[in-house]
Structure 1
Amino acid sequence: MNNLFLREKESWSIWLMWGVVSAIAVYITATQTNDFSHIVFIKLGVFSLLTWYMTYLKRFSFWRAMKISLVVFSIAITPVLFFNFEAVSLLKNADIAIKVGLLSLVTVIFSLVCSLIARQPKEYY
C-alpha cells in the first residue's frame, strides 16, 4: 500500500551531494571548454543519471521528484554564474544573462521530464 501512514523523511545530504558533484562536473567542463553546448550536455547527462537513480528507487511522487531535481540543478547552475566573472554585473553583460536564462529554462523543462519519468508507478489492487 505504499506507506499510507508513514511519511518518508527526505535525506537532503544525498541530494546536496548530487548537486555538488554536478556543479563540479559543470565547472570542470566550463573551464576546459568555452562552448555553452558542452555545459548543457554535461548538465543533461547528470539529469539522466539522477532520473535513472530515482527510477531505480521507485519511491518518488511527481512533486517530490520535481522538488529534488530543481534543488539539485539549481546548485549545478552556480558555476555557470561564476565562470564568466570578468563581467562586472550580470545586468551589464546580456550574453551571460541570456545563457543563464536559457540554462534555467532547459533545467525546468528537463526537470519536468525527469519527474514524469521518475515518479512512482500506480498500483492497482
Structure 2
Amino acid sequence: MGNLFLQERERWWIWFMWGLVGCLLSSFVLSLTHQQIMGFTASSLLVLAVAIWMNYSKRFEFFRAFKVLILIYTFSFLPPLLDALLPIDKLSVAALKGGLVLAFGMLLCIFCAWFARRPKQYY
C-alpha cells in the first residue's frame, strides 16, 4: 500500500554526492575525448541509472523523483555545458546551445521521473 501516512524525509546530501559523481564522470570523459556529446552522454547515463534504481525500489512518486533527478542533472551536466558555452564567439550560437541542452535535460528528467514513479495501487 505504500506509505499512506508516513512521509519519507529526503536525504539531499546523498543526491548531491551523486551529482558530484556525475560532475567528475562527465569532466573525466570530456577531458579524455574532447567531445561535448560524450560528456553529455556520460551524464545522461548516470541520470538514467539513478532512474532505473528508483524504479527498482518503487518508493518514489513522480514529483519526488523529478526533484532528485533535476538536482543530479544540474551538477552532472555542468562541465559539458560550460565547455559548450565558454568560448563565446557568437552570443546567439551560445544561447541556442545552452537552450538545447537545458531543454534536452528537462525532457530527460521528465521521462526518467515518469519511468521511476511508483505504480498505482488498486485496493
Equivalent in the alignment of 1:116? 114
> Residue deviations 1:85-107, cap 9 Å, x none?
864xx595544443332221111
SS in 1 for 2:71: helix
Instruction: Please give the secondary structure, in 1, of the residue aligned with 2:121.
Output: coil
| Residue 74 of structure 1: aligned partner | 74
Q: Which structure has greater helix proportion? A: 2
Secondary structure of the 1:102 match is helix
Instruction: State the 4+ residue runs in structure 1 displaced beyond 6 angstroms.
Output: none
Q: 1:51 to 1:84 in 2, by over 3 A?
A: closer
8 A contact 1:80–1:100 mirrored in 2: no
Of the three residues 76, 79, 97, the one matched with 1:99 is: 97
- 1:8 aligned partner: 8
Aligned twin of 2:33: 33
Are the aligned partners of 2:85 and 2:94 in contact in 1 as well (CA < 8 Å)? no
Instruction: Give the secondary structure class of the aligned counterpart of 1:104.
Output: helix
SS in 1 for 2:19: helix
Identity among equivalent pairs (%): 31
SS in 2 for 1:122: coil
CA gap 1:109/1:29 in 2 versus in 1, 3 angstroms? same
Mapped partners of 2:70, 2:106: distance in 1: 7
Taking a change above 3 Å as real, the CA distance of residues 43 and 86 of structure 1, as seen in their structure-2 partners, is: closer
Gaps of 5+ in 2: none
Deviation at 1:75? 1.0
Q: How does 1:50-69 map to 2 (within 5 A)?
A: 50-69=50-69
Shift of 1:81: 4.1
**TM-score, L = length of structure 2:** 0.86
Following superposition, the deviation at residue 74 of structure 1 comes to 0.7
